[in-house]
Amino acid sequence: MSTPPIATDTPTLLPPPPRTTDGDSGFGLWLRRFFALAASCAITGCLFYFSLTVAWAYSGTDTPGQVVRAYISRGKHTSYYLVFTYTLPQGSYRDEENVSSSNYFTAQRQVPFATTVRYLHVWPFQIAGLPRYKDVWSKLLETGIIILVVCTLATFYLWAICIRPARERHLVRVGIPVLGVITDKIVRRSKYTTYSVKYTYKDSSGTQRQRRMTVNSKSKWDAVNVSEVVTVLVHPANPKRSLVYELSNYKVI
């Protein structure tokens, strides 16, 4: 794929790529790395725990146990729990299971009583449950929903804090500068206020493209005007990827 010619009449004159950029150094760089590590560990841990739950459901070991307590947790939602104990060669264990209200009230009248506990031990993790009072499909579904929420949030933060800035910085380093024009300024007010612009430019084939860019700095967003000519950096291998250099978070040094 041919790259667009380097424009020499853009509002900001840039050296040819690859360029050296500022930002992401010192404390900021280590902070991004920490968030990337934390989000990656959260995603990996959740997927591993879900695989353990599946293994518990299909190949866990049943052992005698005893339900020793039943209690209700009241808050935004009411939850019902059965506390149980069981003994293995390596020691005695105590755990609890979230159950339906009908199973809770049925069991509550019999506490304490003997029951069957299904467990799976994979050091350092141990999963145990009461298959009689909570079927394996319910446990898998409940665990899957929790893990899906956690993984979605972790992926969002990984994208927002690490991947997206890295992609933007890479585009500032290798992008081909061409002329662009701001066509619209957008502000969206909700819990958080976001600022963005729409802009147009021509790629190497002469195709007129319109893109939208979120602007993190309100002062930069205020400083640009509709119909203003700007410097657009276009990815040499993918003309759909671009950004307005004057509104980016990184600068060439």
pLDDT, tens digit (0-9, with 9 covering 90-100), for 68-82: 999 999 988 899 999
Q: Using CA atoms, how far apart are residues 133 and 131, in angstroms rounded to an integer? A: 5
Whole-prediction pTM value? 0.66
What mean pLDDT value characterizes the chain?
89
Structure token pair of residue 104: 């809770």
Q: Could you give all domains of the chain from N- to C-terminal order, each with its CATH number? A: 1-17+175-253 (2.40.50), 41-153 (no CATH)
Neighbours of 74 (CB within 10 A): 7
Backbone angles phi, psi at 205, to 5 degrees: -90, 0
Residue 1's pLDDT is what?
47
- pLDDT tens for each residue of 94-147: 999 999 999 999 999 999 999 999 999 887 788 999 998 888 888 889 889 999
What pLDDT, on a 0 to 100 scale, did the predictor assign at position 26? 64
Number of neighbouring beta carbons within 10 Å of residue 93: 16
Cβ atoms of 245 and 164 closer than 8 Å = no
pLDDT tens digits for 13-65?
888 888 888 865 667 677 778 888 888 898 998 899 899 999 998 889 999 99
Q: How far, CA to CA in Å, does 35 sit from each of 47, 88, 147, 166?
A: 18, 39, 19, 13
Residue 135: the pLDDT is 83
